[in-house]
């Protein structure tokens, strides 16, 4: 079992304990086919390494019931506001811990592609630093050309991949690429596993592993992110566009 999948399981364990709804990174993709997810991750990784810009995809099953709240404690049901929140304020897993804010700090060069499947809504949010390279009109054209037709057919993976590629092509190659500071994860999905009925802890069974191993992994899961760097990334201010399919 690779280290990444161990950490993933451990993290899942912690998440399961601490939070009713949560976002998971690539390792537990359920909505979009894993082949497409891998393609998205790999393309976005290349963009990050070559341009330092971070293109992140976030898939919500619905705008309701995800449990993400604004500063007044209300669940955010508007896709534009949700986009601003996910982009700027939601801690998301990166390769060495968690990061709030998509893109690099100071450069604000992030792009977020957000979709809500039940409501058939999409949103592309562009960080301050890329507003010149990817205008609102361009985000709309890209979504109309690649995302909307594929999503109408139910081809979510293809639509997201083509959208990510089209966005990536708008971003100029950086003079100082730095593959040491890449984000690592680019695809996130709302955890749509139904809340299970409570079972006694000795009956918990994850991937057929003994309890002691689970506990060990859980401790790794706790201390990994704690020891890992909590970083602040880029900012956005509502730039981009949104629509329906």
Residues that bind other proteins (CB under 8 A): 71, 78, 80-81, 84, 135-137, 140, 237-244
Of 149 and 237, which CB lies nearer to other proteins in the complex structure? 237
Q: In whole angstroms, what is the distance from residue 110 CA to residue 80 CA?
A: 16
Of 44 and 79, which CB lies nearer to other proteins in the complex structure? 79
Helix (H, G, I), strand (E, B) or coil at 220: helix
Of 39 and 241, which CB lies nearer to other proteins in the complex structure? 241
Of 11 and 84, which CB lies nearer to other proteins in the complex structure? 84
In the complex, minimum distance from the CB of residue 142 to other proteins, in angstroms, rounded to a whole number: 12
120: left (phi over 0), alpha (psi -120 to 50) or beta: left
In the complex, minimum distance from the CB of residue 137 to other proteins, in angstroms, rounded to a whole number: 5
Of 33 and 136, which CB lies nearer to other proteins in the complex structure? 136
In the complex, minimum distance from the CB of residue 80 to other proteins, in angstroms, rounded to a whole number: 5
Q: Which residues contact 40 (CB under 8 A, 6 or more apart)?
A: 57, 157, 160, 161, 164, 186, 187
Q: What does each C-alpha distance from 72 to 5, 22, 65, 141 come to in angstroms?
A: 36, 19, 17, 34
In the complex, minimum distance from the CB of residue 167 to other proteins, in angstroms, rounded to a whole number: 16
In the complex, minimum distance from the CB of residue 24 to other proteins, in angstroms, rounded to a whole number: 27
Tokens of 149: 């037709």
Q: What is the DSSP letter of 78?
A: -
In the complex, minimum distance from the CB of residue 209 to other proteins, in angstroms, rounded to a whole number: 44
Q: What does each C-alpha distance from 35 to 5, 95, 156 come to in angstroms?
A: 17, 20, 12
Of 78 and 96, which CB lies nearer to other proteins in the complex structure? 78
Helix (H, G, I), strand (E, B) or coil at 92: strand
């Amino acid at each position: 079992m690779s280290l990444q999948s161990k950490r993933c399981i451990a993290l899942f364990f912690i998440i399961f304990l601490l939070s009713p709804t949560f976002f998971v990174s690539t390792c537990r993709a359920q909505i979009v086919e894993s082949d497409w997810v891998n393609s998205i991750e790999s393309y976005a990784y290349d963009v990050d390494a070559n341009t330092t810009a971070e293109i992140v995809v976030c898939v919500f099953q619905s705008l309701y019931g995800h449990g993400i709240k604004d500063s007044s404690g209300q669940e955010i049901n508007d896709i534009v506001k949700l986009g601003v929140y996910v982009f700027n304020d939601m801690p998301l897993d990166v390769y060495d811990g968690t990061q709030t804010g998509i893109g690099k700090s100071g450069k604000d060069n992030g792009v977020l592609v957000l979709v809500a499947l039940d409501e058939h809504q999409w949103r592309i949010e562009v960080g301050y630093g890329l507003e010149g390279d990817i205008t609102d009109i361009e985000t709309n054209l890209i979504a109309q050309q690649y995302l909307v037709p594929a999503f109408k057919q139910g081809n979510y993976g293809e639509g997201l991949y083509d959208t990510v590629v089209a966005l990536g092509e708008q971003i100029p190659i950086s003079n100082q690429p730095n593959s040491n500071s890449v984000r690592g994860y680019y695809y996130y999905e709302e955890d749509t596993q139904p809340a299970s009925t409570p079972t006694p802890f000795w009956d918990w069974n994850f991937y057929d592993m003994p309890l002691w191993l689970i506990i060990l992994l859980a401790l790794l899961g706790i201390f990994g992110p704690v020891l890992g760097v909590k970083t602040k990334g880029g900012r956005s201010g509502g730039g981009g566009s949104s629509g329906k399919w």
